[in-house]
Structure 1
Amino acid sequence: MSRRPYVRKAERSWWLHHPRYVAYMVRELTSLFVGLYCLFLVVGLIRLAQGQAAWDGFVAAFSSPLGVSFQLVCLAFAIYHSVTWFALTPKAMPLMIKDEPVPDMAIVGAHYVAWAAVSIVVLIAAGM
């Protein structure tokens, strides 16, 4: 046994050399923006609990051009994250019914149908 084990050098840009790695890293990056948006929604709930003036300030901040831009970037990242995850789902969660594999398109399609149904319910609950 060697006293000096082999340590392979890894570049910081290792993931830029293959398109699948780039897609994976971008998908992982999108989760940060989704988490940030969730954090800002929690801040909005806190401001709502603090009263009308605090809530109005929060709404004004989110209605500013910077706030709208942030929301649009978060929306784009959330859509990218969802679409790439739905495409990955049949590989991450293979489904068998009566010892027969469910086709990949059926699993992906079911996710899109559920996404649309939940979106419709949320829009109805929001009064739109």
Structure 2
Amino acid sequence: MDKEVLLTKFRGSMVGTAVGDALGASFEGQWKLREEEVRASAGQRKVLKYTDDTHMMIGVAESLIENKGFAGKHMAHRFIDNFYKEPFRGYGPGPPRIFWLITAGEAWDKASEKLYPGGSYGNGAAMRIAP
């Protein structure tokens, strides 16, 4: 596939994810929604604000671009830097605790085991996989 076409697809997937995240942010945790509620909410907001999911997806993309591939330690520190710049994005309790552990010297690939010895059962990785 042509590189420009591929880059356009990457951008499109990220923009689509960010828009969906921002539109859905006010409904997070709700089980039943009616279409008219969603339309009314989207129509009332002049500015859409994305959440931690998009914020971390951006961090993934930034790190992949800077390193021309995956560099785990760099990506972890990108997440940390981005979090401290904009902690208001709706992060749950886990990521900030993991960020603190890494900042305190824990290895980037071991820090989550301190909180989740059996591994995380959340969907965070799926939320930031777009790039």
Per the normalisation by structure 2, the TM-score is: 0.31
Q: Please state which structure has a larger fraction of its residues in helix.
A: 1
Higher gyration radius (CA): 1
* Larger RCO, structure (CA 8 Å, separation 6 or more): 2
